[in-house]
Amino acid sequence: MYTKEEYNEFLLKYNYALKVLETNIRILLSEYERNTKTSVVDHIKTRIKSEESSLKKLSRKGYEQTLDNFDKHVHDIVGLRIVCPFLSDVYEVVELIKSSELFKIIEEKDYIKNPKDTGYISYHLVVLVPVPIGGKLENIQAEIQVRTMAMDFWASIDHKLQYKFVEEVPENIKDELYRSSVDIQHIDEKMLELKELIKDYEEQ
């Protein structure tokens, strides 16, 4: 096992990576919105995964709880979430990130078109963030989540409910959460239709 001092030292490069990632994302989005005169983002959230969550992830995967295994097997210590007003904005932002030379994408999962069994919906990208450490560049993995405001609301409630239960979440609650997720998808589709209607009126 490691000491608290060793863990804090270990986290330094992840804190650096988060700053680099957030700065690059904000510049990328600002330039896009300046050039297109279009706003596609409501807000951005960032976080460093808690030690407790990282330890639980290693335990679930069956790995020893060491700093080396954090590096190798916990790929979302650095997290950045982009929350968009509309569904079309999500894919606009994803394509913007994918086309940028600022990021090297190593994993991509579309949980919007292919939701998880729980009903979870979002778009995930795992990227490498180059960080200057000890006179050389080290690539740090980070997870970017892109979702609508409605999806973010559902995920926030789901996260809070998961922590209410020490053991498995009861099946009836799981079913209700899944049905709520379907409702959220319908809301996003309706809001997108409304956006297109408003656009038609503006063009007229």
197: domain CATH number is 3.30.460.10
This prediction has a pTM of 0.90
| pLDDT, tens digit (0-9, with 9 covering 90-100), for 80-97 | 999 999 999 999 999 999
Number of domains in the chain: 1
How confident is the model at residue 41, as a pLDDT? 97
Expressed as residue numbers, the domain containing 33 is 4-203
| Out of 74-88, 114-128, 169-183, least confident range | 169-183
Whether residue 168 has pLDDT greater than 70? yes
How confident is the model at residue 161, as a pLDDT? 76
Q: What is the 3-state secondary structure (H, E, C) of the chain?
A: CCCHHHHHHHHHHHHHHHHHHHHHHHHHHHHHHHHHCCCCCCEEEEEECCHHHHHHHHHHHCCCCCHHHHHHHCCCCEEEEEEECCHHHHHHHHHHHHHCCCCEEEEEEECCCCCCCCCCCCEEEEEEEEEEECCEEEEEEEEEEEEEHHHHHHHHHHHHHHCCCCCCCCHHHHHHHHHHHHHHHHHHHHHHHHHHHHHHHHHC
